[in-house]
Structure 1
Amino acid sequence: MTGRKDAQAVRKRPVRPVSAGLVGVLDAIGTGAYVVDEEGCVIGVNSRAEELLGLSADHLVGHDAHDLLHRGPHGRPLPRTQCSMRQAFHAGRTAQAEEDYFARADGSLLRISWLITPYAGKEDDDCTLVVFHPVEPVPESGPPEEAVVASLTELERLALLAETTTQLTSTLDADETLRRLVGLVVPRLADWAIVDLITDRDEVWRAVVVHAEGEALVHRDDLQGPMPPVPQASQMPLSRALRGVASTLAGPQTYDRAPDSGIAVEQRHLFDATGMHSVAIAPIRSTREVLGALTAGRSENTVPFASADLPLIEDIARRAGLALDNARLYQRQRKVAETMQNHLLPQMPGVPDLQMTARYLPAPHASQVGGDWYDAFPLSDGSTALAIGDVVGHDLEAAAGMAQVRNMLRAYAWSQAEPPSRIVERLDGAIQHITDVTMATMIFARIEAADDGTWHLAWTNAGHPPPLLISQDGMAHYLTAGHGLLLGTGAGRERPDATASLPPGSTLVLYTDGLIEDPGQTLDVGLDRLRRHAAALVHRPLTAFTDQLLRRVRPERNDDDVALLALRIPARGT
């Protein structure tokens, strides 16, 4: 016996739970599949694997997959040194085998073919996906079956679907989803891939026309673009697919008849321009609506598509539909969030003789909103208030907290003719009781012109990176005075004030830590990078200075939002 006895003998250990995204990947695979962690223990399994092995997920998860399942042809445990699957697992590479054996719960052996490949999801640590399929006996006689797409074996077909799922579910960018989709279809299944999408206004847009030329994928931009509307009564293949009716095979002869619509005319032109002799067209659907159609076409490959090929094309199109729908929903959310953020952040006030500009860049993987903010506004005594801050987080909650802090600061600064330190002390005491903000950093300053042509700056710093002052001749240094605790500590200490004269032609930069923090490097490295680039760019107009500074200084590995406020003192004689 090789099944239940071994399953009970193999030690089970606690494993980390898998994400909902990984569960979805396993459920979408049409054959047995499981995922192992970096130690080779099963952390997720689909229902088909449970059925094939006769073991429940509870019996599989937490066990070493090799020890529990892998056997030699006579049912004996397979030494790890002889296991090609184990070798591929440790090497972190993709591999497959046409014949191997797994132990089932009833003691019998399951003859399988398998594919193993590394998998890295958005929410999961690196893990490894194993897809396996029972090897069926080859019939000795009988009529030949219709050809499967590009002569793919059953294992290759299932491996392609598994790859499609992992590729398309690991991005939330619609353009990247389309790029990956055509890369999966061409040249493995077809010489051409065409994607027609239905826009939010129910218009059809031919988004992709790609041709395989050797190893390269060539976009035919001249064949892409707007398409005529989809007629409801048309029985032509593309029209039916775009209505979500059915998948269809077609060829040039399909469109030899008199066209019934403008979209049929475009299809006739497509066949003429590409030389395709056979295509398979499948609807791209989400769970809510039809999103478009996928067309796989052959020109150089002389074997026409057959009806047996349609299920695979349909499966790929269905997975593409789910991925595109997720990407669209995510992009709509980002657009709403971006609009919200733009309304939350203020316009710069006009201050005579003083140039001022500001920028906000969202975190690359967040929803276009965050806790970084800037502000500038006139005060009742004629001076101008400046502020830069960072509420912990980069999500909607952080953005809401940022708006609360900024509005409270404005109210205190306008109504209280006090030094910056006293204003921030009042703010710190208030946010602990009337907001949900737990921690925040900020600089609050006031600036005003002096009679001698210089400008006077007074500020207090609540745990924030120091302002950077660059003289007209490129001398740059940080204003490190006035530094106190961040907001939200409840320490109740008095905050310091600091003052400085800003010479004519100088530039002052207030910024948040997303501009200088780089994982794996010290903060001093980021501060030095900002100082050197600011000094080199100070001769440029303020707008160009600000844009170039962000482009050069923001770390590539940055995963935080960035706010930046820059102002320039007028030079003498201007």
Structure 2
Amino acid sequence: MAGREDSGTVGGPFPPAAPAPLTAALEAIGAGAYVVDDKGCIAAVNSRAEHLLGRPSHELLGHDAHDLLHRGPQGQPLPRTQCAMRQAFHAGRAAQADEDYFAHADGSLLPISWMITPYDTGEPEPGTLVVFHAPGRDTGAQPEPTARQLSELQRLALLAETTAQLTSTLDVDEALRRLVRLVVPRLADWAIVDMISERDEVWRAVVVHADGDGLLDHEDLRGPMPPIAAKSPMPLSRALRGVASTLAGPHTYRGTPDSGIAVEQRRLFEATGMHSAAIAPIRSTRAVLGALTVGRAENPAAFTPADLPLIEDVARRAGLALDNARLYQRQRKVAETMQNHLLPQMPGVPGLEMTVRYLPAPDASQVGGDWYDAFPLADASTALAVGDVVGHDLEAAAGMAQVRNMLRAYAWSQHEPPSRIVERLDEAIRHITDVTMATMIFARIEPADAGHWLLSWTNAGHPPPLLISKDGLASYLTDGHGILLGTQANTRRPDATALLPPDSTLVLYTDGLIEGPGHSLDTGLEQLRRHAAALAHRTLASFTDQLLRRVRPAANDDDVALLALRVPES
């Protein structure tokens, strides 16, 4: 388990008291049992474990379980890298071993078998339950664990692992993959998942069966299903209506089919060779989402009614996880759609290539204030802008739209340098918007002599533009830099100008492209410069896509807006 410097008690001379409900729950287990906290220290222990280990609870509570108890076959301390229990603990998954060793209080070695599973202790941080059995040393008054008790422990382990696995992803397809890996081959040879769409259409999303240590996907058996039969008494139809879980077999569908679903179920049993199946609804608190079918073909044991509660529990937990994933994806889609509608289409500028990209943050709620813009001005030049309103929520997105629209109005109506336009914008947003702070670059570009284009700009606290020549020389345009919007400093903003040579590329971007955990801003800027230089020979669309793929940090939690333009060859 997780380590500590010492193996003494935690928090002073007296060990922490275990919560009474938690201790009572452990006493109901007919084997040695203890619970560790998220640091691997024992938080509760039952009397059977005290007896087997020869230690009263006050000698166990608060101690690091691995350091205090776990030993190798010769009684030596067990290295953490060799501890399967510790690996399962850190992975938050269930595991078990038939032969291992604990240290007894009298110095002897205690051969044990154990099972470990995540456990809800009622605390904010998750706990872990360890259940162990010591053959030949269980001489206390309590009997050895019965087959029923061991079966219940395995059931709890499966349910805990189901909850841990399914709630740790917000991707529907990944949740389905994890679901079938949990039940096959542990419960069945086959697993089938039928999902109900938001339009009440049924789709057979998963059909897999055990293939050695892996799962074999049967794509030919997946696909659209007939509509749910409203009054059919057949098992799958009942499950898809959320009525009940049911046992089924080939005989169930041998009669005259009462619906299209019954026809598909007969085909399923014929194709898979299943002789026994259990079918349970997958439902959330709001609706029925589908049905889980687990079936046995190679395993000769048929499902019995006693198996249904476990399968129902697994399906119920899957339903809650899948509902959360669907809500997440729906929210993400709404956010992306809104952001894309807020961002403008790029104008056609004769003689210039221009492309833009917007990548939302990984979190669906992280629609935010990153934006780009380009639009013609009254004097026949073209305005360019990229910016970032502080925040990652719908308010930031709304603020972004306000800032962009106000900038357009000022830039069109006021024939002034970029610095003066941004000064007017800065003054206005403090009074007529809810935007607190923002960064941006505002520029104008127009043809110059000898195939060059003249860029003039001002920078309000934003990462600098990057200019790349056709020969791969890349440099940042660091002039024209001033403070961000919203500071109320009322200082004059600088302007800067640069000539863009033929076949050069200009990149404007937001900080989500270069900032990420684990590296500095300077590191991100250097990575962007190097990769942009290496990609200078690509077409502009390929240049932009590859730049995003190579430079954007993998652990990025921010959105990214990027505008790239290329001056034509002379």
Distance apart, 1:83 and its partner CA: 5.0
Distance in 2, matches of 1:61 and 1:228, equals 49
* Match 2:569 to one of 559, 568, 571: 571
| Equivalent runs, 1:511-550 vs 2, <5 Å | 511-550=509-548
Alignment of 1:468-487 (within 5 A): 468-487=466-485
Deviates more, 1:540-549 or 1:311-320: 540-549
3-state SS of 2:451 partner: coil
8 A Cα contact 2:38 2:126, kept in partner:
no
| Preserved CA contact (<8 Å) 1:186 1:193 | yes
Q: Secondary structure of 1:160's partner?
A: helix
- What amino acid is the match of 2:419? S
Which residues in structure 2 correspond to 1:220-369 (within 5 Å)? 220-367=218-365, 369=367
| Alignment of structure 1 residues 431-446 onto 2, 5 Å | 431-446=429-444
Correspondence 1:93-104 to 2 at 5 A: 93-94=88-89
Distance 1:514 1:191 in 2: 46
Within 2, Cα distance between the matches of 1:493 and 1:362? 33
> Is the contact made by 2:37 and 2:126 (CA closer than 8 Å) also made in structure 1?
no
Letter in 2 for 1:530: L
Query: Aligned-pair distance for 1:368?
Result: 6.0
Q: Which residue pairs with 1:454 in the alignment?
A: 452
Instruction: Give 1:84 shift.
Output: 6.0
**Alignment match, 1:400:** 398
- Give 1:77 shift: 2.8
Give, as a single letter, the amino acid of the residue that structure 1 aligns with 2:42. Answer: H
Following superposition, the deviation at residue 447 of structure 1 comes to 0.6
Output the CA distance in 2 between the equivalents of 1:85 and 1:169. Answer: 31
CA root-mean-square deviation: 3.5
Q: How far apart, in 2, do the equivalents of 1:513 and 1:131 lie? A: 46
Distance 1:316 1:53 in 2: 23
Q: Hey, what does 2:59 align to over in structure 1?
A: 79
Q: Does the residue aligned with 1:254 lie in a helix, a strand or coil?
A: helix
How do 1:551-562 residues align onto structure 2 when only pairs under 5 Å count?
551-562=549-560
Shift of the 390–83 alpha-carbon distance from structure 1 to 2, 3 Å rule, reads closer
Residues 178-200 of structure 1 show CA distances to partners (whole Å, capped at 9, x for unaligned) of: 11111111111111100001111
In structure 2, the residue matched to 1:373 is 371
| In 1: Cα distance, 2:563 partner to 2:64 partner | 63
Q: Conserved in 2, the CA contact under 8 Å of 1:42 and 1:64? A: no
Q: Is the 8 A contact 1:41 1:61 kept in 2?
A: no
- Residue identity matched to 1:128: G
Structure 2: which amino acid aligns with 1:289? Answer: A
User: Which residue is equivalent to 1:203?
Assistant: 201
Structure 1 counterpart of 2:491, one-letter code: R
Name the SS for the 2:335 alignment partner.
helix
Q: Report the CA distance between 1:86 and its aligned residue.
A: 6.6
Letter in 1 for 2:182: L
CA contact (8 A) 2:454 2:497 kept: yes
Asked whether the equivalents of residues 12 and 63 of structure 1 are also in contact (C-alpha less than 8 Å), the reply is: no
The aligned amino acid for 1:130 is L
Q: What's the CA shift string for 1:71-123, capped at 9, x where partnerless?
A: 5228833534795697589946446699xxxxxxxxxxxxxx99645699xxx
Question: Which residue of 2 is the match for residue 66 of structure 1?
Answer: 42
Q: Distance in 1 between matches of 2:431 and 2:66?
A: 62
- Residue aligned with 1:240, SS: helix
**Contact 2:42/2:64, CA 8 A, preserved across alignment:** no
Q: Which moved more, 1:518-527 or 1:384-393?
A: 518-527
2-side partners of 1:416 and 1:266: how far apart?
A: 69
Whole-Å separation in 2 of the counterparts to 1:201 and 1:157: 35
Structure 2: 5+ residue stretches without partners = 1-8, 28-35, 71-79, 90-94, 99-112, 133-137
TM-score, with normalisation over the residues of structure 2?
0.81
Secondary structure at the counterpart of residue 210 of structure 1: strand
Maintained 8 Å contact 1:116/1:128:
no
Shift of 1:132: 7.5
Contact 1:42 1:65 in 2 (8 A): no
Q: Cα gap change, 1:129/1:255 in structure 2, threshold over 3 Å: closer, same or farther?
A: same
- Is structure 2 residue 415 aligned with structure 1 residue 417? yes
Deviation string for 1:391-435 (max 9, x for gaps)? 122221211111111111111111111111111111122222222
Go from structure 1 to structure 2 and tell me whether the alpha carbon gap of 1:177 and 1:48 turns closer, same or farther (over 3 Å shift).
farther
Distance 2:117 2:124 in 1: 14
Q: C-alpha separation between the residues in 1 aligned to 2:533 and 2:483?
A: 29
Q: Alignment partner of 2:356: what SS?
A: strand
In 2, are the aligned partners of 1:461 and 1:484 still within 8 Å (CA)? yes
Relative to 1, partners in 2 of residues 1:231 and 1:152: Cα closer, same or farther, differing over 3 Å? farther
**1:204, CA displacement in angstroms?**
0.9
Question: Given that residues 508 and 567 in structure 1 are in contact (C-alpha distance below 8 angstroms), is that contact kept between their aligned partners in structure 2?
Answer: yes
Deviation per CA, 1:371-400, whole angstroms, max 9, x where unpaired?
111010111221111001111222212111
Distance apart, 1:70 and its partner CA: 5.6
CA shift, 1:11, in A, is 8.3
1:188 is matched with 186
Taking structure 1 as the reference length, what is the TM-score of the superposition?
Answer: 0.80
**TM-superposed deviation, 1:347:** 0.4
Is residue 389–residue 400 contact of structure 2 (8 Å, CA) maintained in 1? yes
Are 2:328 and 2:364, in contact at CA under 8 Å, matched by a contact in 1? no
Is 1:67–1:77's contact at 8 Å kept on the other side of the alignment? no
Classify the secondary structure of the residue corresponding to 1:207: strand
Whole-angstrom distance in 2 between the partners of 1:42 and 1:254: 55
Report the residue type matching 1:435 in the other structure.
T
CA distance in 2, matches of 1:42, 1:531: 58
Contact 1:458–1:497 (CA under 8 A) maintained in structure 2? yes
Asked if structure 2 preserves the Cα contact closer than 8 Å seen for 1:92 and 1:117, the reply is: no
* Per-residue CA distance 1:449-487 (angstroms, 9 max, x = gap): 124331110001111111111112222111111111111
SS of the residue 2:328 aligns to? helix
Aligned to 2:508: 510
1:175 pairs with 2:173: yes
Following superposition, the deviation at residue 64 of structure 1 comes to 11
Q: 1 CA distance for matches of 2:499 and 2:55?
A: 84
**Match in the other structure for 2:129:** 130
The residue number in structure 1 matching 2:135 is none
Task: Tell me if the contact between 2:466 and 2:476 (Cα under 8 Å) persists in the aligned partners.
Answer: yes
CA deviations 1:233-253 (Å, max 9, x no partner) are 211111111111111111111
Contact 1:85 1:116 (C-alpha < 8 Å) held by counterparts: no
Change (3 A) 1:85 1:180: farther
Find the counterpart in structure 2 of residue 159 from structure 1.
157
Contact 2:38 2:125 in 1 (8 A): no
Partner of 1:29: none
